[in-house]
Amino acid sequence: MQQPLATNQPRHDPRAEQLAMLSRVNTDDLLGGIGLGDVRRGRRLLERLFAFPARRFARQVIAYDDLVGDAGLPAGGAWVIRRFAAGLITTE
């Protein structure tokens, strides 16, 4: 039996594409949030500075989406509260 020829094309990885897309959106949102969304000169440097927090948040969004898909919205809501509001104290 003949082996198929290997191609040099990269594998389609939807997870990596999702992470890259969310990271780009988060970077744009972070820059816009501090009033630098329209900056063109020095934009690459700013994007590099914000790459880590943008990617970290993108991973958290993907984890939340996976959890909601697997266990439902109540489980996702509980995860968000534990993750982002664990030390939150409210008063009336």
User: What are the structural domain ranges in the chain?
Assistant: 15-84
What pLDDT score does 5 carry?
59
C-alpha to C-alpha distance for 65 and 73, rounded to whole angstroms? 9
The secondary structure of residue 34, as a DSSP letter, is: T
Average pLDDT for residues 9-26, to the nearest whole number?
87
The structure's pTM equals 0.74
CA 78 to centroid of chain Cα atoms: 19
C-alpha to C-alpha distance for 84 and 88, rounded to whole angstroms? 9
Label residue 11 by pLDDT band (50, 70, 90): confident
What pLDDT score does 1 carry?
59
Above 90 in pLDDT, residue 8?
no
Residue 89 phi, psi (nearest 5): -120, 130
Q: What is the pLDDT of residues 25-69, one digit of tens each?
A: 999 999 999 999 999 999 999 999 999 999 999 999 999 999 999
Cα–Cα–Cα angle for 81, 30, 51, nearest 5°?
Answer: 95
Q: What is the pLDDT of residues 76-91, one digit of tens each?
A: 999 999 998 888 888 8
